[in-house]
Amino acid sequence: MFNELFELPEELLTIKVEDLFDFLQKPTLIHLQGTNEQPLFICTLLHGNETTGFLALQKLLAKYKTQALPRSLSIFIGNPEAAKENQRRLERQTDFNRIWPGTHEDFLAEAHMMKNITDIMRQKNVFASIDIHNNTGRNPHYACITTLDKQYMSLAGMFSNTVVYFTTPKGVQSAAFAELCPAVTLECGMSGEAGSVDHAYSYIDKCLGLESIPRDVPEHIKLFHTVARVTIPDSYSFGFSDDATINLYPEIEMYNFCELEPGKAFAYIEPESTAYLLVYDDHEREVGRDYFEYKDNEIVLRKPVMPSMLTVNTTAIRQDCLCYLMEKIKLPEDD
């Protein structure tokens, strides 16, 4: 179901992301030997249209073409088939970042593949894990963790001052690897943005050079906790103009990582319609009425929150969600 390689095919240094599938044919795990044998794990293209991670790896591999890697490196190229079509996932595929150990869908063949990858890296005593993503909307670069452990926060803080702690959705790569080693998900802005590849590249290179992961949490980090996930019921049409049942306001994309006050409007709904947004908390309870109210044909915020991942990309909204809602949390006290 996936390739496992023990040396780097020369072609990967220059191949275009959309040509990866024709070359590899399958998801591919590549192990490269470094001076320190405990491997750093890098996961990329779990979502096929999020290219920053792969481009950063190409830059890194070019650097180490003529010198030894300071530490072994294991690279997983997750969904080259979707990358060929420049899509998050193909219509018939499941989301490749919801099927890692801990998933609700462990009966799927793809979930079995992700369990195999996890088992291989457990046997190799993986040093740290970095899963690289892009957003479809305007967001700052940030790192996500699923455990409030100092080494995990420290690994995240090396990438960005903005750190997001989350425990749902289930079955994400970083949560599975958090059982084995310090693990982060990087959100590197939108695919193709200038500077993102360099940012991811220098971060991976810095991690490769670490003797160990520091245990002191950088004081500068701002820590947020994802408290809810917002989706649009499948039964309602939606869009960003004025001809659907739920008409989202395009400016919501500017609200990411902004502290919003109650009364902020997200959408205009068709008169006479009782359309609503679904909001799920960390325990998968529907809590929409806690966060939104419906007045004068508008959907407005009911309490102060900070959204992330708001986008105007309607496919991403259908395939994933409209946004996440977050609260700021204090850094754990020193012990």
DSSP for 297-327 reads TEEEESS-BEEES--S-HHHHHHT-SEEEEE
Q: How far apart are CA 263 and CA 304, in angstroms?
A: 9
Q: How far is the CB of 279 from Zn ion (least distance, A)?
A: 21
Q: Which is nearer to Zn ion, 85 or 290 (CB)?
A: 85
Comparing CA positions, the residue from 65, 169, 76 lying closest to residue 130 is 76
The residue among 172 and 326 lying less far from Zn ion, judged by its C-beta, is 172
Alpha-carbon 257 to chain mean position: 16
Give the binding range for Zn ion (CB under 5 A) out of 131-139, 163-171, 172-180, 279-287.
131-139
CB 259 within 8 A of CB 308: no
Stretch that binds Zn ion, among 3-11, 125-133, 270-278, 301-309 (CB under 5 A): 125-133
- State the amino acid at position 17 in one-letter form: V
In the complex, minimum distance from the CB of residue 305 to Zn ion, in angstroms, rounded to a whole number? 22
Q: Smallest gap, in angstroms, from Cβ of residue 50 to Zn ion?
A: 5
Our CB check for Zn ion shows the closer of 133 and 141 to be 133
- Of 277 and 321, the one with the shorter C-beta distance to Zn ion is 321
Q: Whose Cβ is closer to Zn ion: residue 124's or residue 138's? A: 138
DSSP string, 70-126: EEEEEEEE--HHHHHTT-SS-TTSPPTTS-STT-S-TTSHHHHHHHHHHHHHHHTT-
User: Minimum CB separation from Zn ion for residue 247, in Å?
Assistant: 26
141 binds Zn ion (CB under 5 A): no
Question: Smallest distance, Å, CB 114 to Zn ion?
Answer: 15
- Phi/psi at 30 (5° precision): -120, 125
- The CA distances from residue 151 to 17, 90, 128, 141, 213, in Å, are 32, 35, 10, 20, 6
Show the binding pattern over residues 18-57: x = contacts Zn ion (CB under 5 A), - = does not: -----------------------------x--x-------
- The token pair that represents 49 in the structure block: 């249209």
Identify which of residues 50 and 155 has a Cβ nearer to Zn ion in the complex: 50
Q: State the minimum distance, in angstroms, from the CB of residue 47 to Zn ion.
A: 4
> What is the closest distance, in whole angstroms, from the C-beta atom of residue 153 to Zn ion in the complex?
21
Among 31, 98, 133, 141, binds Zn ion (CB under 5 A): 133
Buried/exposed 27-37: b ≥16 CB within 10 Å, e otherwise: bbbbbbebeee
- Contact string 50-89 vs Zn ion (x = CB under 5 A): x---------------------------------------
Which stretch in 5-13, 120-128, 130-138, 188-196 sits in contact with Zn ion by CB under 5 A? 130-138
For Zn ion, the closer of residues 47 and 71 by Cβ is: 47
DSSP state of 265: E
Q: How far is the CB of 270 from Zn ion (least distance, A)?
A: 32
Burial of residue 271 (number of CB atoms within 10 Å: 0-12, 13-18, 19+): exposed
Nearer to Zn ion, 50 or 121 (CB): 50
Binding residues for Zn ion, rule CB under 5 A, total 3
**Considering the complex, what minimum distance in angstroms separates the CB of residue 136 from Zn ion?**
9
DSSP string, 114-169: HHHHHHHHHHTT--EEEEEEEESS----EEEESS--HHHHHHHHTT-SEEEE---S
Q: How far apart are CA 211 and CA 207, in angstroms?
A: 9
Residue 132 token pair: 């690289």
Name the site residues for Zn ion (rule: CB under 5 A): 47, 50, 133
